[in-house]
Structure 1
Amino acid sequence: MTQRQLKLGAVLFGVGGPGQHDVWKHPEIPGDASIDIQWYIELARRAEAAKFDLIFIVDSQFITPDSPPHYLNRLEPLTLLSAVAVSTTHIGLVGTLTTSYNTPFNLARRLASLDLISKGRAGWNVVATGDGGTAGNYSRDEHYDYETRYGRALESVRVCQGLWDSYEDDAFPRDLATGVFVDPSKQHQLNHQGEYFSVVGPLNISRSPQGQPVIFQAGDSDEGRDLGATIGEGIFTHAPTLEAGQAFYRDIKSRAAAKGRNPDHIVVMPGITPILAETDEEAQAIEENARLKKDFGKTLAQFGRPFGWHDFTQYDLDAPFPDLGDLGDHSFKTQADKIKAVAKENGYTLRQTVEHFSQSRRPPFVGSPLTVANKIQEWFEGRALDGLNVHVTVPSELAKFTDQVLPILRERGVVRSEYEADTLRGNLGIPIPENVHTAARNAAQTVPAPELDRSGAR
């Protein structure tokens, strides 16, 4: 049995994601980084040189003037990743695509194309869009309700997986002698009739060396966790403490096992932003200074996102947190409900609530390279995670992590020294799903024929 090793993802945010409103001013970051493909290619190559498993591109399709700089002007994930694919050889390529405002056939075809372009390195972060304003960009008067969003998400994935099996692996003989290009017996319609979608198929593209793109999912609500345990092969999450990480890890793995899945085939990867310096004290000072410099006005505007970008400037900051009723139910409901509950339980004002959620405890991965390496190993061995998603903005900060932290973990055997495979599934240790039609054919061939009695009757 191979040794369990830490998996690594790099989340590329360009000029700055949530809470990073001033990152674009850093001298190492081009002002157009979020639309500069060469910037992405260079960082992907750096991550690949450090033997990262994947890069991850987040996405959303609704913005306001208060959205983080990276959100205001960025490349579409699959277009971006297709360009990176031809400039790399081993690193996985994971993009966010919503099931709320895409149809399964289109999703399946685009993802399968990336999977073939990259020779089996594609991954799909499945999201049920939380930004309610997205509806207006897709000819809808209102956003889907919570139940519908998650219902569409599950059905979308199942339809895509069915479409990705449209061709068996040996469906294309391409035999010049016989003139046979395709074996029609190994091309299959889907004929799906579901609650949300009707899809005939087949998909007009073959399977890649990894069979199907790897399915990732990120959701902390009960519905989100259940969806992840049902379809997720990689789980993106947030873990503020070791104990919280362990609790989430146990919950996801136990839910998956209850559904008949092998928990070891699900990779849990919380996101982190490591802050490194020569000493713990220097790193802690850097982190504290960054917190103190945050612009409260920008933070207040960003605070409205879970509530459908609700405008909180209309309230008295030092009055009790406003009664918002069911506001947020059609947006990021879990986060909105948590904010309302914490404010009520503690009797917080609006200002105190914003500060609580934007300036909470110090993140866990702050310190010298040795301190951060020790902390990562503790979380990994303590089953709080299977891997990490490292948030990347300033290239030199990524270099500190790859050049100072990873060598410590590599020497201890926690992190790989070389890639084990050419595909994302292979490097994550996730099996290739057998084509369902091939599996059925093989099963039928192994069923013993009924015995005959001496008269020849069955």
Structure 2
Amino acid sequence: MTQKQLKLGAFLSVPGNHLAAWRHPDAVTETDMDFDWYMRLAQLAERGRFDTIFFQDTAAVGGSDKLARGDLTRSKLCRIVKLEPTTALAGLAVGTKHIGLIATATTTYNEPYNIARRFASIDHISKGRAGWNLVTSQIEDEAGNFTANPHMAHALRYERAAEFYDVVAGLWDSWEDDAFLRDKDSGRYFDPDKVHFLHHSGEHFSVRGPLNVSRSPQGRPVVAQAGSSEPGRELAARTADIVFTAQTELDDARAFYADVKGRMAKYGRHPDEMKIMPGFSPIIGRTMEEAQEKFQRLQDLLPDDVALSALDRFTRGMNIEQYPLDGPMPELPDTNAAKAQRDLIMTMARRDNMTLRQVARSVSAAQGHRMLVGTPAYMADQMQEWLEADAADGFNVICNYYPAPLAEFVDQVIPELQRRGLFRTEYEGTTLRENLGLARPANAFALRRAAE
């Protein structure tokens, strides 16, 4: 039996995932806006043979309302600016050769035609390495930037997202692979029988098409999805090639893995057509003691008010500062933002009998993801256990600051995984789909015509 191998994404949450790690003496804070640093990090991940880099995005400054009132002076101010990620991907494509390039673009505050065009273009520029992380906007601050008040309800956001995907996927099939003849002698630039108008008319969108970008090298860019709520899981089962998720316990991860993959059959999909990749933050030491010391050094940089701010988007007007920090974690209200993350926080708090201070500091450190603190061998042990237990197909590695922790992972953990036969030593193909082991999708219009 062939040994399963891990898929790895470098989740570049610049200038770092931990809310206070930008203060670390080794942290390069300019990684948030300096494109040269984006390129160095992408090339570092490529040296480690990562499948892809991955950029999160929000179209707003988190905590804008508090900032406008002058209430937000320290909290979360390390993560308020970044380069627009699809623009960055186009630049990174020319400085890398193998690594995948995935960025978030919301379905709540975009239009399908623009997104289809943007990612198809990146796929051409990169020769088949583009990926779109399909999300609905969680951050209610975004609504204020798009003439949307109040923020669209959670259920409606997912209803819109499902239709949004259908339009984008249809536009990506506007042209068959051999539609463009470019025949100078005959004067035929393209074959009119191989261009397809979408003529979509739905609840949220009316889009004629065709897309003014030819069919891309991968057939269509890879689609990632990050929702873990009930509608998010259903959308992932229907649409996603990659699922980026957050679980901290093996049993929870196994249950999520089985649930989402178990939904795929009703959409005519095989479980191997999706890679589920939980996130984790590594803190690597030569010994377990050294790793714990490095973790504590980061936590010592984190004031309680900054830690508490990590819960702001889950409070919906609730004054969480009225509760004693060393008292029980209060019940967070139902939210119109990140429902699954809110539920994970409350489950963790109840399970581990955590105080408000402990919850806030945990969320600030890992943003709801797993924190792995230990030696390279320990990291490899944990990743191997989850892979072999059908809890993950791979992982998104989310560093606390940059560049040192990513370099440590590439230079210390990757070789350990390779020694165990758990990770590639060379890229398998030239496209992201090939490296992920995913088939190139056929053109839907061509399939339909062939079946007639």
TM over 0.5: yes
Q: Which residue in the other structure is 1:285 paired with?
A: 293
Give, in whole Å, the separation in 2 of the partners of 1:405 and 1:351: 32
3-state DSSP of counterpart to 1:248: helix
TM-score by length of 2: 0.90
Q: Which residue in the other structure is 2:6 paired with?
A: 6
Answer yes or no: is the 8 Å Cα contact 1:168–1:438 preserved in 2. Answer: yes
- The 3 A distance-change label for structure 1 pair 40 and 100 is same
Q: Give runs of aligned pairs for residues 304-343 of structure 1, distance below 5 A.
A: 304-308=312-316, 311-313=319-321, 317=325, 327-336=333-342
Q: Which residue in the other structure is 2:15 paired with?
A: 15
Indicate the larger mover: 255-264 or 269-278.
255-264
Match status 1:409 vs 2:417 = yes
Answer yes or no: is the 8 Å Cα contact 1:44–1:55 preserved in 2. Answer: yes
Q: Which residue in the other structure is 2:132 paired with?
A: 124
Greater C-alpha radius of gyration: 1
Match status 1:85 vs 2:83 = no
How many pairs does the alignment contain? 440
Give, in whole Å, the separation in 2 of the partners of 1:146 and 1:426: 34
Shift of 1:358: 5.6
- The 3 A distance-change label for structure 1 pair 353 and 5 is closer
Match status 1:438 vs 2:446 = yes
Give, in whole Å, the separation in 1 of the partners of 2:329 and 2:271: 41
Q: Which residue in the other structure is 1:41 paired with?
A: 39
Shift of 1:301: 1.6
Q: Which residue in the other structure is 2:84 paired with?
A: 76
- The 3 A distance-change label for structure 1 pair 38 and 165 is same
Shift of 1:315: 5.2
- Residue deviations 1:173-217, cap 9 Å, x none? 000110111111111110011111111111110111111011101
Q: Which residue in the other structure is 1:227 paired with?
A: 235
Answer yes or no: is the 8 Å Cα contact 1:26–1:394 preserved in 2. Answer: no
- Residue deviations 1:95-136, cap 9 Å, x none? 011000001111111111111111111101111111112111
TM-score by length of 1: 0.89
Give the residue type in structure 1 aligned to 2:48: A
Answer yes or no: is the 8 Å Cα contact 1:24–1:69 preserved in 2. Answer: no
Structure 2: gaps spanning 5 or more residues? none
- The 3 A distance-change label for structure 1 pair 140 and 253 is same
Q: Give runs of aligned pairs for residues 25-424 of structure 1, distance below 5 A.
A: 25-63=23-61, 64=63, 65=67, 66=72, 68-308=76-316, 311-313=319-321, 317=325, 327-336=333-342, 351=357, 354=360, 363=370, 365-392=372-399, 393-424=401-432
Larger RCO, structures 1/2 (Cα 8 Å, 6+ apart):
2
- The 3 A distance-change label for structure 1 pair 391 and 171 is same
Shift of 1:403: 1.4
- Residue deviations 1:28-75, cap 9 Å, x none? 443322111110101111111111100001111222245634531110
3-state DSSP of counterpart to 1:270: strand
Give, in whole Å, the separation in 2 of the partners of 1:55 and 1:24: 20
- The 3 A distance-change label for structure 1 pair 358 and 172 is closer
Give, in whole Å, the separation in 1 of the partners of 2:352 and 2:395: 32
Give, in whole Å, the separation in 2 of the partners of 1:124 and 1:417: 26
Answer yes or no: is the 8 Å Cα contact 1:94–1:125 preserved in 2. Answer: yes
- The 3 A distance-change label for structure 1 pair 280 and 352 is closer
Shift of 1:352: 6.4
- The 3 A distance-change label for structure 1 pair 413 and 317 is closer
Answer yes or no: is the 8 Å Cα contact 1:48–1:90 preserved in 2. Answer: yes
